[in-house]
A and B are shown apart, each in its own frame.
Chain A
Amino acid sequence: MSEDASRELGPEARFRAYLAEGKFMIQRSRSTGAYVFYPRAAAPRTGESDLEWVEASGDGVVYATTCTRRPAEKGGDYNVALIDLAEGPRMMSRVEGLPPAKVKIGMRVRARIVALQGQPAVIFEPA
């Protein structure tokens, strides 16, 4: 955080601003090289304030998945998954492009930015 930090966006707002520009950005600690998601004010565990923004490769693997059952009239079943990013961090997301119950752990997926509830969000599709 620089001296005039009050003029910068905080990590969450910066992440969302990048998403609005069509970029899926994650953080990386300059000193350790470790990637970080979700966006933090300081590097988790070390507390170092040397986080920089880098564009995610978009590659990931499904770590865990569930099909949430919902009546068709309310939008039908949908997927919720945890994705291990190629860079290391894990995030919650949704895998689309196949039926929600057909998403399998270990499946290789690729990120795409779409609008969910009117906001830009990262979802994944089979790679």
Chain B
Amino acid sequence: MAHSLRGKVACVGLATAGCGEAPGWNAMELMAEATRKALADAQIPLSEVDGLFAATAFHSMAAVSLAEHLGIQPSYSDGSNIGGSSFIAHVLTAAMALEMGLCNVAVIAYGSNQRSAGGFRSISEPMPFEAIYEPRNPITAYALAASRYMHEFGATREHLAEVAVAARAWARLNPEAFRRDPITVADVLSARMISDPFGKLDCCLVTDGAAAIVLTRPDRAKDGPKTPVYLLGAAMEHHHRMISAMPDLTLTAAARSGPRAFEMAGYAPKDMHTVQLYDAFTINTILFLEDLGFCKKGEGKDFAGGGRIAPGGSLPVNTNGGGLSCVHPGMYGLFVTIEAIRQIRAAAGGDEGPREAGGWIPDVKLSLAHGNGGVLSTQVTSIWGAAETL
């Protein structure tokens, strides 16, 4: 039986703002700018926005602050913060709110000026039974997971490096990406060590950036200027907040959120034309390819290598360059969503801006966007499709 939320909302507008460096702008202003641009993309006036969803690492009540900044009075809002995956969780909540008629035009937004404001920004509290050992979270937690993965499955730093090289190869096709100089596996291995087994190039960028998407019910979506992209499936799951409480550091809750999202969508991993994964660190891409069902546990290290996920490979992964090479303002989840949707819009003939040959992938009808939050904690999977996939 088809899930009651399948295909019930569509993304009708999207935008990013201030990606890379935006000196002189604060996080709220960037988020408001992304919202304005996304509404312009959808050709929907601000006055019609009655559902507002936002989270940042700067605001304790992001949706409330954003509504004030925009001068609107939403009838439904949600500022839940479950880390970088928050925005895909917001998609799920917004879909419910739209379907139930609690709102008619939903905006999901994020903004950060962390790079210009001095570096990685978090509002996370110290973890009570970990802080005394001085973990440099999130890096330490992901490095621990990588150490365990390498131990269990015989992976090497070269395997991890292949992920960074593939991401950079995509970034080289994308003028919007922050880091575009070519890198090799040797470059990744010789970069300054941060937290073993990670060197600098195993870790995501620290940039500024904001993003917003506009969701409506399908009846309205058909009337907009842009190709509507439908939410076919979404699911979330989590089991820990602290890395020391994660049951198995090589198995994320994406192994549960992924199958449920696919079940809702009525599609399987093999049907996805692009795969956008939250790559805060190189190990993420490998773990999520496995946990979402693109390969078996332990095979991700080889699956991600040999150019398979790079431009020209059989599975396009993180086609904007990812958090590793395109943009990572601290909470990256909305950017994977936007890239998943843009690839579908571009394939439908929309003008998504210039990319080098191969940067926009032909015939994309189905894209997966997977968000990760905390320390491999909250996993939220979403599947988006063009109208003919409904």
Contacts and interface: CB of A to CB of B under 8 A. Distances in A.
Interface of A: 12, 37-38, 63-69, 78, 80-82, 90-94, 101, 105-106, 116-117, 119, 121
Contacts of A80: 133-135, 140, 144, 195
A68 B244 contact: no
Q: DSSP class of B's interface residues: helix, strand, loop or mixed?
A: mixed
A38 B193 contact: no
B136 interface: yes
B359 to A, nearest CB: 35
A78 B134 contact: yes
A117 B133 CA distance: 9
Nearest to B143: A66
A81 B136 CA distance: 12
Given A63-B148, A92-B244, 4 more contacts: A64-B145, A93-B133, A94-B133, A105-B148
A41 to B, nearest CB: 13
Given A82-B244, A91-B244, A92-B244, A68 B132 contact: no
B134 A68 contact: yes
Contacts of B148: 63-64, 105
A41 B135 CA distance: 25
Contacts of B130: 92
Contacts of A63: 148, 249
A67 B195 contact: yes
Main secondary structure of the interface of A (DSSP, over half): strand
Nearest to B250: A64
A106 B147 CA distance: 12
Contact of B135 (A90, A92, A101): A92
Contact of B144 (A38, A65, A91, A116): A65
A90 B244 contact: yes
Interface in B126-152: 127-130, 132-136, 140, 143-145, 147-148, 151
B242 interface: yes
B135 A105 contact: no
Given A38-B128, A92-B243, A67 B196 contact: yes
B249 A92 contact: no
